[in-house]
């Protein structure tokens, strides 16, 4: 395989990867937005006996948003 062919293949792979990331960017941002308040809420609720319940609740909420 020639060098130019290799470079063309690599460039095509980069372009395809950019498209794939762009299509899924909403979900990356949404899960990031859900994780930050969940971590803060867990920290604030730490003394409560069921402080850990915030994680499954936010996971279910994120799943519903993702599949809706």
List C-alpha distances in Å: 43 to 35, 47, 49, 51, 52.
12, 9, 13, 8, 10
| pTM assigned to the model | 0.59
Q: What is the spatial distance between Cα 12 and Cα 26, in angstroms, rounded to a whole number?
A: 23
Backbone angles phi, psi at 44, to 5 degrees: -70, -30
Q: What is the pLDDT of residue 43?
A: 92
- The predicted pLDDT at position 64 comes to 92
pLDDT at 41: 92
At residue 21, the pLDDT reads: 65
Domains of the chain by residue range: 24-68
CA-CA-CA-CA dihedral for 14, 20, 24, 25, to nearest 10: 30
Q: Is the pLDDT of residue 44 over 90?
A: yes
pLDDT by residue (tens digit) across 3-41?
Answer: 888 888 888 888 887 776 677 778 888 998 999 999 999
């Amino acid at each position: 395989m020639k060098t130019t062919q290799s470079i063309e293949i690599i460039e095509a792979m980069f372009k395809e990867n950019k498209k794939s990331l762009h299509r899924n960017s909403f979900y990356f941002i949404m899960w990031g937005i859900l994780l930050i308040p969940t971590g803060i809420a867990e920290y604030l609720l730490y003394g409560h006996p069921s402080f850990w319940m915030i994680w499954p609740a936010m996971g279910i909420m994120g799943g519903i948003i993702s599949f809706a």
